[in-house]
Amino acid sequence: MNKSLKTLVGAQFLSAFGDNAVLFTVIAMMLQTHHQSAWYISALQSSFLIAFIVLTPWVGTLADRYPKPSILFGANLFKILGTLSIYLGLEPIVGYAIIGMGAATYSPAKYGMLPDLAEASQLVKANAWVEGATIAAILLGTVGGARMADHSTSMALLTVMALYFVSGLLTRGLPRLEGPQGGIEGGSAWSQLMGWMKQLLKAPRAPSLLLALSLFWASGATLRVILITWAPEVLGTQSASDIADLTFFLAIGIVIGAGIVPRLIPLEKIRRARFVAFVMGGLFILLAGIKTTLTAKIVLLSIGLCGGLFVVPLNAAVQAIGQRGIGSGRAVAAQNFFQNTAILISMGLYSLSVGLGVGSVAAIEALGMIVLIATVWMSLKRSKNKLRPLKKK
């Protein structure tokens, strides 16, 4: 890694650590007050994600039109504001929504910088570093945040605010690369967004990449929420730290997958990712039948490994497509729109299933079946398209 990429990875680690530490601090607050509710966790996660959808038309343009380090710094200030509001006693769902606004602004600027900081041949490797740092932050933020919160929620929130501040300072040292990208201009922000999406979806492979990434993040985010109710029901866990320990193994698997993926799935061999998706779907179904903590940790580690192998090359492909077309920042923002819409739909369906009395075990089994069926469908569709190539005009 060059110096600028190291700085970006460090800033991303601290910022993502804070995002996850806050989440498990709020979960600890909920468990300490004996307010255990699956719908509340879904609502908390959804409040964070809504910003990614609502702000999509603006954050993509910001990331391509203004210096990205300035955008990253401002995004961290938003996260500090949201954490401070929770510290001062505001409803955590509202505070986490404000943090989500910062994260939604941060994401396209962060990923949009990668094509500027790394050569095209190194883009998968650069993504692996950023994705690895992100998942390592999820891993340590989840466990560290839960442990701090079990000891003192106030200390946990103050620590998170300090980390966001240091992350913001690091971004000030990044190169101020700028220059407006071409693309759809004029009209309302949402009409511009529709224009970007149409352009992006015209690119070869872009629709299947976006669909696959949306499926991955929707299933992964929903699994994370289900674990919060599954672990106490099936494994008998009692605290936020116990639940965080399970998430630890899921996250460390993604770190390992992100680390080895450049050798296994380079951009020119990206179709190999579908085999990983098949395995991941099967592991979801296997997890549903597990009764012991040790076995659960092993399977979660394996699911995470598949996740790292799957998501890193697909992210790199979307960025490369965006850089050649609408701009990498806009492409990542549009990608976030698709992914987080899918996550919200998945969360909504899970909340509905909980209301109908569906248990956590059945929910995990359903997730696994959806991943397998969707992977088979996309593989068949891809093969069919190859058999019937488009005619030249």
**pTM, two decimal places:** 0.69
* Nearest Cα residue to 303 out of 379, 360, 265, 251: 251
pLDDT confidence of residue 3: 84
pLDDT of the residue at 37: 61
**Whole-number pLDDT of residue 390:** 32
Its CATH architecture, for the domain 3-174+192-387, is Up-down Bundle (1.20)
The pLDDT assigned to 382 comes to 59
pLDDT in the model for residue 125: 76
pLDDT attached to residue 120: 64
Q: Residue 121's pLDDT is what?
A: 66
Question: What Å distances lie between residue 58 and 65, 70, 168, 220, CA to CA?
Answer: 10, 15, 21, 26
For residue 385, what are its two tokens? 């398209």
Query: Which pLDDT value is given to residue 81?
Result: 96
Domain ranges of the chain: 3-174+192-387
CA–CA gap between residue 111 and residue 316 (Å, rounded): 9
pLDDT of residue 385: 45
Nearest to 130 by CA among 41, 236, 262: 262
Residue 162's pLDDT is what? Answer: 96
| Strand ranges in 49-154 using DSSP code E only, listed in sequence order | none
Q: What is the pLDDT of residue 168?
A: 93
Query: Which residues in the chain land under pLDDT 70?
Result: 1, 33-38, 120-121, 124, 177-189, 238-240, 266-268, 323, 327-329, 333, 381-393
